Structure 1
Amino acid sequence: MTVRLRAHHLLCLLTYVGKGYSPAFTANYDKVVKRLGEGEAVLIVSGPDAICAPMLDEREPHCLGEGAAERDALAARDVGALL
C-alpha cells in the first residue's frame, strides 16, 4: 500500500512528537508514522491526505483551506529544490 501525503506534511513529519489537534488526529498520525517507519511508499498528493483524514468531518476543515494549499506549494518548491 502507499501513504498519500501532501507536500507540507513531509516537513511536519520532521517535528512530530505525538501531539496534535485531537486524540483521533494524534492516533491517526501515529499510524501513518508507523507505516512510514515500516517502509511503506509515499505518494505526494494535492489536497487532503492520510494525515488529514480525521479532520475532514469537521464543519470547516482547515485541510481544505487556502493556507494549507499555500503551505503545500511552498513545501513542494523547497523540498523539490533539495531533491
Structure 2
Amino acid sequence: MYTLRGHHLFCLLGYRGIGYSKEYAENMTRLHQTLRNNPKTMIRLVNGPDELCEKYPNTAEYHCQNDDIYKRDAAILSKLGLKIGQILSWAEIESNVRNYIVPSDIQTVCVTCSWRAYGVCEEGIKESIEGKGLRKIK
C-alpha cells in the first residue's frame, strides 16, 4: 500500500518522467509504473507529506508543508469526492476522476502550481476520462 496526498493524484495523471531531481523522478516513475501496471494497488490518502514528498530534493525550498499545498490537496480530494484516511485502489481513484473531473479543473484547483503551464495534467485527466489509464513512461 502507498500513501498519497490529494494533489499527487493529479500529478500522477500528468507525469511524463521528469521531476524536481533525478531521485524524485526515479521515485515518481517507480510509483507511476506500479499503478499503471497494477491499478488494483491500494492507496491510503493522507494529510500532508507522502511517499513522493520523501524524495523532494533538499536543494530546493521544501514546499510540501506550505499552506497552499494543503489547500490544493483538500480542493482536489473534495472534487474527487474522497477523504483523508480513505483507502482505495488506484482503479477506484481513476473511476472518480472519470466521474467528477474535467480537464479544465486544473486551471482552478492547481492555479498556483508551477507545472500547470505545461498542460500535461490536463492531458492526463483527458486520457483518464477516455479510459486510457496512466501513460507509459519512456
Q: TM-score, normalised by structure 2?
A: 0.53
* Matches of 1:36 and 1:55, distance apart in 2: 20
C-alpha distance after superposition, 1:6-57 (max 9, x if no partner): 0111111111000111111101101111232333211111101111111275
Instruction: Tell me, yes or no, if the aligned pair for 1:56 and 1:63 is still in contact at 8 Å.
Output: no
- Provide structure 1 residue ranges, at least 5 long, that are not aligned to the other structure: none
Instruction: Tell me, yes or no, if the aligned pair for 1:32 and 1:50 is still in contact at 8 Å.
Output: no
When the two chains are superposed, the root-mean-square deviation of aligned CA atoms in Å is 1.9
The amino acid of 2:33's aligned partner reads K
| Runs of 4+ that moved beyond 6 A | none
Equivalent position of 2:8 in the other structure? 9
* Matches of 1:58 and 1:67, distance apart in 2: 20
Larger RCO of the pair (alpha carbons < 8 Å, separation 6+): 1
SS in 1 for 2:44: strand
- Provide structure 2 residue ranges, at least 5 long, that are not aligned to the other structure: 83-99, 101-138
Q: Number of matched residues?
A: 81
Instruction: Tell me, yes or no, if the aligned pair for 2:6 and 2:77 is still in contact at 8 Å.
Output: yes
Equivalent position of 1:55 in the other structure? 56
Larger Rg: 2
SS in 2 for 1:63: helix
